[in-house]
C-alpha cells in the first residue's frame, strides 16, 4: 500500500471516530490528529487494529483503533463475551474474573470490562482494587470461572496499557480460542454493537478473602519451614514493588514463610501509574533496581527482590564474593529456583520419577543439564507462560509439575495459578537463600556451585526497537534476511543446527537433513546452534515493537575461583557473536 493510499484508508477509519457514537474527548483527539500537518500520529493510531499477541492486547493509551481506549477494550470484551456464549451454550451461568494493575485508566477499563460482561448476562467477579496478575489467574480457577481479563501492560512504560485474556484453566488464551475471539471482535463493526450498560446484579466485588486463599496456597509450596524459621528473622531482604501491585501481598507472603526482616523502599511502595522514581518499571533493568540496591547497601542486606507493576515478573540482586551487589539475570533466576526445587525435593525424598520442569526455547540449556542429572524430565515450549501452562495442562493427572520459567524474569512454581508469579517466586527465592546459608554458602557461592556441577553458561538479551508501521516492516525484513543468509559460524564455532519454528524444520547443516520438530503450532522464531554449544535465538516480540536476540555461550569453570575469568571470556564471546550477527 502506497503512502497516499494508506493515508486515505487511515483518514476514512479516523472519520468514523468523529461521529456521535464516540465520546467528546475521543472525538476531540481524533479531530486534532486529522487536522495536524504531521500525519504520523494519525497513521500510528489508525493504520491497524490492536491484535491478540503473546500477552493479549497491549498498546499506547489514546484514541484510535491501534490504541488502548474504552472502545478497543470494549470491542475485545464484547467479542470475548460473544465467544463465551458460543463456547458454553448449555451453562446456566457463565462467569469471569476481572482484575487490573495500578496503571492510569486500569480501574476505568476494568469496570468497563465488568459492565460489558454483565450486560451480556455473564457474571463478573471484579476485584475491589489492583491485584497481582497471578492472583487473577488463581481467582479464575478458584471460582470456577470460564474466563478472565486482567487490565495491565506489565512492565511497559507508563504510556501503555494492556488487556490479558484468560481461559477456564487460568492460563492466557491460545489457539483455537484466540483466533475465535479475534473473529468475533472483527464482526463488531459499530460501537452500538458493544453493550456498555452493565447489570449490577451480575457484578460481584471480591477482595480480602481471595487474597487469603491465594496466600494460603502459596504457603503450601514451602519446602523448608524449619530452615526458614532458623534464618527468617536474621536474613535481611530488601523488597520493592516499583510502585506496583505487589506492595501488599509479597511482604505478607514472605512473612508467611517466616521471613520477617523485610526492608522496604518507601518511595516505591506508593502505587502509581506514573512510576515516578524510575524511567521504566522493569526489574530486569539495573536502573529500576537502583533505589532498592542503595537501600541494601545502607542496611547490608542479604538479598534484594522486586516485582514489576503487575507483580508477575521477579527482579533479584545478590552480593558477589567481594560483597558487591550484582543483578541476577532472568536465566539465572529460573536456573536457581529450578535447581532448588529439584534438589530440595531429592533431599526430602519426594521424587517419584514422574516429575517434570518446563522452560522456554530461548531460556538457558543449563536447566536441561540440571534436570538430566536429577532424572527429571524437561519440556521446552514457546516464549510466554501460556505455553508453559499448556504443557501443565497436557500433563495434568499423569506427571507432577515442579516449576517452570523463562529468561524474561518469569517463574511459576505452582499449578493453582497458570501465569508467572512473582509472589510465590520471591517467597521461594528467600527460602533458597536460607537453604544456601544452611549449607554454609552465600547466594553467589550457590550459583557458582551450579555452574561447577552442571556447566558454565552466560546469556545476553538484545532488543532492537523498531516502532510503528515502518518498524514492523523492517523487523519482517530482518527475519527474512536471517533465514535466507544463515551464518556459517559464530565466534569461531561452526553452526551445526538451524531450527526454524516458522515451519518446524530442524536442519543438520553438515548433511542437509531436515527433521520436523514436535510443537503444537508454528512460531516466528529462528535458532542457530554451534559446535561448541553456543545458541542464538531470534524472534520478533509479540507485545512490543522490537526484534529480540537471545545469545547463550558455554564456558569452562572448574572451581569458584574461575568464575570471574569464565564470565569475562563468555562476555567477550558474546560480543563476537553480536558482531557476526550485525547487532
Taking only the tens place, the pLDDT of each residue in 331-366 is 999 999 999 999 999 999 999 999 999 999 999 999
Tell which phi-psi region holds residue 249, choosing left (phi > 0), alpha (psi between -120 and 50) or beta.
alpha
Low-confidence ranges of the chain (pLDDT < 50): none
Helices marked H in 349-467:
366-373, 385-395, 422-438, 443-454
Name, in order, each residue with C-beta under 8 angstroms of 271's C-beta and a sequence gap of 6 or more: 102, 130, 241, 243, 244, 245, 247
Count of beta carbons in the 10 Å neighbourhood of residue 526 = 18
Domain 456-581, CATH: 3.30.310
Question: Which residue is it, cell 474527548?
Answer: 25
Count of beta carbons in the 10 Å neighbourhood of residue 122 = 25
Can you give the pLDDT at residue 1? 54
d(CA 252, CA 236) in angstroms, rounded, equals 15
Q: Per residue in 161-182, is it b (16+ CB within 10 Å) or e — as a string?
A: bbbbbbbbbbbbbbeebbebbb
> At the topology level of CATH, where does 214-454 sit?
Alpha-D-Glucose-1,6-Bisphosphate; Chain A, domain 3 (3.40.120)
Contact 162, 76 (CB under 8 A): no
Can you give the pLDDT at residue 178? 87
Catalytic, out of 118, 154, 224, 422:
154
Radius of gyration of the chain, Cα coordinates, nearest whole angstrom:
24
Beta partners for 238? 263, 304
- Tell me the C-alpha to C-alpha distance, in Å, between residue 538 and each of 267, 364, 409: 38, 14, 18
Residue ranges of the chain assigned to CATH 3.40.120.10? 48-206, 214-454
Residue ranges of the chain assigned to CATH 3.30.310? 456-581
Can you give the pLDDT at residue 134? 98
Does domain 48-206 match CATH 3.90.226.10?
no
d(CA 291, CA 297) in angstroms, rounded, equals 10
Respond yes or no: is residue 154 known to be catalytic: yes
Contact 334, 363 (CB under 8 A): yes
User: Considering the entire predicted model, what is its pTM?
Assistant: 0.95
∠ CA 285-288-291 to the nearest 5 degrees?
135
Amino acid at each position: 500500500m502506497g503512502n497516499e493510499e494508506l493515508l486515505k484508508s487511515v483518514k476514512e477509519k479516523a472519520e468514523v471516530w468523529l461521529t456521535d457514537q464516540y465520546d467528546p474527548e475521543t472525538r476531540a483527539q481524533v479531530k486534532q490528529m486529522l487536522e495536524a500537518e504531521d500525519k504520523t500520529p494519525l497513521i500510528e493510531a489508525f493504520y491497524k487494529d490492536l491484535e491478540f499477541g503473546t500477552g493479549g492486547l497491549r498498546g499506547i493509551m489514546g484514541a484510535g483503533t491501534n490504541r488502548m481506549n474504552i472502545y478497543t477494550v470494549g470491542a475485545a470484551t464484547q467479542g470475548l463475551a460473544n465467544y463465551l456464549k458460543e463456547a458454553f451454550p448449555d451453562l446456566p451461568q457463565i462467569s469471569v474474573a476481572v482484575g487490573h494493575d495500578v496503571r492510569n485508566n486500569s480501574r476505568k477499563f476494568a469496570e468497563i470490562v465488568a459492565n460489558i460482561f454483565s450486560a451480556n448476562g455473564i457474571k463478573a467477579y471484579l476485584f475491589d482494587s489492583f491485584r497481582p496478575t497471578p492472583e487473577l489467574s488463581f481467582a479464575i480457577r478458584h471460582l470456577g470461572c470460564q474466563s478472565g481479563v486482567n487490565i495491565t501492560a506489565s512492565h511497559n512504560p507508563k504510556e501503555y496499557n494492556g488487556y490479558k485474556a484468560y481461559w477456564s484453566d487460568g492460563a492466557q488464551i491460545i489457539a483455537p480460542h484466540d483466533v475465535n475471539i479475534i473473529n468475533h471482535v472483527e464482526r463488531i463493526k459499530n460501537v452500538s454493537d458493544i453493550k456498555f450498560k452493565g447489570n449490577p446484579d451480575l457484578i460481584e466485588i471480591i477482595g480480602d478473602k481471595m487474597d487469603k486463599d491465594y496466600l494460603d496456597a502459596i504457603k503450601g509450596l514451602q519446602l523448608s519451614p524449619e530452615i526458614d524459621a532458623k534464618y527468617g528473622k536474621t536474613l535481611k531482604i530488601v523488597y520493592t514493588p516499583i510502585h506496583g501491585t505487589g506492595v501488599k501481598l509479597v511482604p505478607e507472603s514472605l512473612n508467611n514463610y517466616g521471613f520477617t526482616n523485610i526492608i522496604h523502599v518507601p518511595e516505591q511502595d506508593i502505587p502509581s501509574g506514573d512510576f515516578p522514581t524510575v524511567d521504566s518499571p522493569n526489574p530486569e533493568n539495573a536502573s529500576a533496581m537502583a533505589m532498592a540496591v542503595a537501600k541494601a547497601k545502607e542496611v547490608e542486606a542479604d538479598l534484594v527482590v522486586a516485582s514489576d507493576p503487575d507483580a508477575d515478573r521477579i527482579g533479584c540482586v545478590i552480593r558477589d564474593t567481594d560483597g558487591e551487589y550484582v543483578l541476577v539475570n532472568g536465566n539465572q533466576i529460573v536456573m536457581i529456583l529450578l535447581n532448588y526445587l529439584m534438589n530440595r525435593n531429592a533431599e526430602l525424598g519426594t521424587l517419584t520419577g514422574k516429575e517434570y520442569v518446563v522452560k522456554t526455547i530461548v531460556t538457558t540449556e543449563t536447566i536441561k543439564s540440571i534436570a538430566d542429572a536429577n532424572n527429571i524430565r524437561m519440556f521446552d515450549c514457546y516464549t510466554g507462560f501460556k505455553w508453559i501452562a499448556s504443557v501443565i495442562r497436557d500433563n495434568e493427572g499423569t506427571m507432577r509439575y515442579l516449576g517452570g520459567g523463562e529468561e524474561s524474569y518469569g517463574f511459576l512454581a505452582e499449578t493453582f495459578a497458570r501465569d508467572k508469579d512473582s509472589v510465590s517466586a520471591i517467597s521461594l527465592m528467600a527460602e533458597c537463600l536460607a537453604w544456601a546459608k544452611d549449607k554454609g554458602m552465600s547466594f553467589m557461592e550457590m550459583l557458582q556451585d551450579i555452574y561447577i556441577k552442571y556447566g558454565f553458561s552466560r546469556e545476553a538479551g538484545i532488543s532492537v526497537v523498531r516502532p510503528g508501521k515502518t518498524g514492523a516492516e523492517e523487523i519482517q525484513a530482518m527475519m527474512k534476511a536471517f533465514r535466507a543468509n544463515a551464518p556459517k559460524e559464530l565466534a569461531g564455532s561452526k553452526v551445526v543446527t538451524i531450527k526454524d519454528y516458522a515451519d518446524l524444520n530442524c536442519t543438520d547443516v553438515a548433511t542437509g537433513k531436515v527433521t520436523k520438530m514436535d510443537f503444537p503450532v508454528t512460531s516466528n522464531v529462528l535458532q542457530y546452534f554451534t559446535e561448541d554449544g553456543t545458541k542464538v535465538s531470534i524472534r520478533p516480540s509479540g507485545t512490543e515493537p522490537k526484534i529480540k536476540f537471545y545469545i547463550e555461550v558455554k564456558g569452562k569453570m572448574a572451581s569458584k575461583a574461575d568464575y570471574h575469568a569464565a564470565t569475562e571470556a563468555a562476555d567477550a564471546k558474546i560480543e563476537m557473536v553480536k558482531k557476526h550477527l550485525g547487532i
